[in-house]
Amino acid sequence: SGTVRNTADIFFKDYLKDKSKDEILKMAEYFLKNGEFFEEKLVGLVWIRKILKKLEKEDLKILESFLYKYVEN
């Protein structure tokens, strides 16, 4: 999973760093929702981690919903 994290970090830096918080959350949710393997879901989680400083209090409800809907064990 170190390779997946590194790849997600590089992709974020090259293509997503200038995207809005909402756009990144939508893309992260896509990976969390549609990922068949943990590594695919991990991409979404890495991208969320990258924008933690941009998140506001109301965004916590979105993150909480992601946890309940898409994260297992």
pLDDT tens-digit series, residues 29-43? 999 999 999 999 999
For 54, which DSSP code?
G
CA distances from 3 to 8, 71, 72 (A): 9, 20, 21
Q: How confident is the model at residue 1, as a pLDDT?
A: 84
Strand, helix or coil for residue 72: coil
Tell if the pTM clears 0.85, that is, is over it.
yes
Q: Which residues of the chain have pLDDT under 50?
A: none
The pLDDT value recorded for residue 72 is 83
Q: Taking the chain, what is the end-to-end CA distance rounded to the nearest angstrom? A: 16
Residue 25: partners with Cβ closer than 8 Å, 6 or more residues away: 48, 51, 59, 62
